[in-house]
Every structure is written in C-alpha cells, then in structure tokens.
Amino acid sequence: MNIVTVNVGQGALAIVRHQGEAIIVDSRIPPSGDKTVVHVREILAKALKGHFVKGLILTGFDDDHSDLDGASIVLRKYRPDWVMYPRYFKDSTEAKNVFALIDSEIEVRSKTSNPLRKVSVRLDELASRHLDGLSDNFDFELFSPHIEDMDCSNNCSIVLKLTGRGPRGFSYLITGDAEIARWETIHELFGDALKSHVLAAPHHGSKNAAHPASLLKIAPHTILISAGVGSQFGHPSPQAVKVYKEVAKYVFSTNMEGGVSLLTGPGATELTTTLLR
C-alpha cells in the first residue's frame, strides 16, 4: 500500500494504492496558468497506471477539495465504480457543477457494464460507521460528518480511516477540512478507534484544525500536509506543525522545497516518505 499526496497548491488530491486498486481522495487541479498543472496530470497518469480506480472520495464541496476539472478527469478518464461525498447542501456554483457532472456520468454509464454509483454519507443516517461493499482490498471506517456539528462546510467534511487489507497494508486517516469543534466530538465519541499509521493533516495544517487530544489518540507515525507554497491562508500554521511534530515521528508538507508531491509507503523497517518533483 502507498499514498501519493499530490502537490496541487491550495487544495487536496491524494491517490491511495494497494494490490492493484486505487482510491482517489479529493480532486483539486491547479488553475490552467499554474506551472504545477502538468506535474499533476503526469503524477495522475503515472500513479494510476496498472491500477483500477475503485472510487473517488470528495471530502467536501469547497472547490479546493471538489474541483470540477479534477472531478471530470477522474470520472471520465479513470471511471471509478463509485463517488463518495458528505451528505449536506453546499450552495455554491462549484458544488452545483460537480453534482451536475456526477449525475451526467451516472446517466451516461447507466446502461454499461461499469455504472457509476453515488455514496452519500452522514454518520447519523448509517447503521454502522463501517462501510462495506466498496473495495476488495480496503476497509472504510467513517467518523464524520454528523448532524450535531454540521455548522459550516469545514465541519461537514468526511473524516474516514482507509485501511489496506493484508500484507503491507496500513491505515490512513482522511480528514478534509474538519476543525477543532468537530474534532472535540470525534475524540469524545471514538477515542482509540481513531488510531492510524498515517494522518492527512486536517484543513491543510491550519491551527484551527490541530486538536491535541485527537492527535494523541490517532498517534500517527507520519503526518502529511497538503498546502500550497506561499499559501495566502498561511498554511501550514507553524503552531500546528509544532503540535504535529510532538505526536508524529515524521511530518511532511507539499510546500517543502518549493513544492513537492509525497510518496508514502512501507520501507524496510518502517513507513517512509519520498519527495517527488
């Protein structure tokens, strides 16, 4: 199993691969004038070669996670079995366009051997936080969203542990933009169940999303931050990075060394992360 955290500037796009299957998390593609666009397209093509894309997880509908161009490439070129998203209403042009794209692809593929399925998730509407029938090689455990904390789009984010089955599999906690108020409840409800080998830093390493008690329960070996070089929002926050370094052995960010993608997977004795330029 390995994770490619793609350098997309302000936003998120990751590719999780295991035993010939791939799960894509978020769909940010930089604007057409950005020099990293070619890099992102090359990374996608290279990382997905020889892998069947089982699903696309959109952790939220802000356009730095749910980008129309990126979602179009994934759904039309790589044709996943399903697209997962949090069940809430986002009144924005980008969200409406992404939903229109999903509905269009469902219709186009409805009479084919590879139909597209929508997986809309909210904890309070599910019988179990363990999601079945999505993959042969991954397990899915959902921790968010929940109606009690859905006070903003960030706190409607999907928080989900993705675990590769069998040899060389490990656990990866996907977090979207969930902020501290949501983490308070997640920590209270789920505690030790949050433990994961790798953590995608919530909200691009914002200080408003670094919740120390949850981090102690997650106890990650590696933390991966998706943040743009010279982020206008100051991501990642130095305060958050300091907290991360106190709980994880390794902390990496895509804004390192002028912008890099990150490849994380099993090494000889522990998980290792390589910088991809």
The CATH number for 16's domain is: 3.60.15.10
Instruction: For residues 80 and 157, give the distance between their C-alpha atoms in angstroms, rounded to a whole number.
Output: 21
Domain of 41?
A: 2-276
pLDDT of 31: 81
pLDDT of 174: 98
pLDDT of 181: 96
Split into its structural domains, the chain has a count of: 1
277 residues of the chain, pLDDT tens digit each: 999 999 999 999 999 999 999 999 999 998 877 777 888 989 999 999 999 999 999 999 999 999 999 999 999 999 999 999 999 989 999 999 999 999 999 999 999 999 999 999 999 999 999 999 999 999 999 999 999 999 999 999 999 999 999 999 999 999 999 999 999 999 999 999 999 999 999 999 999 999 999 999 999 999 999 999 988 888 999 999 999 999 999 999 999 999 999 999 999 999 999 999 8
Strands (E), the chain: 2-5, 14-18, 21-25, 52-57, 82-86, 117-121, 130-131, 138-144, 159-164, 171-174, 198-200, 222-225, 250-253, 261-266, 271-276
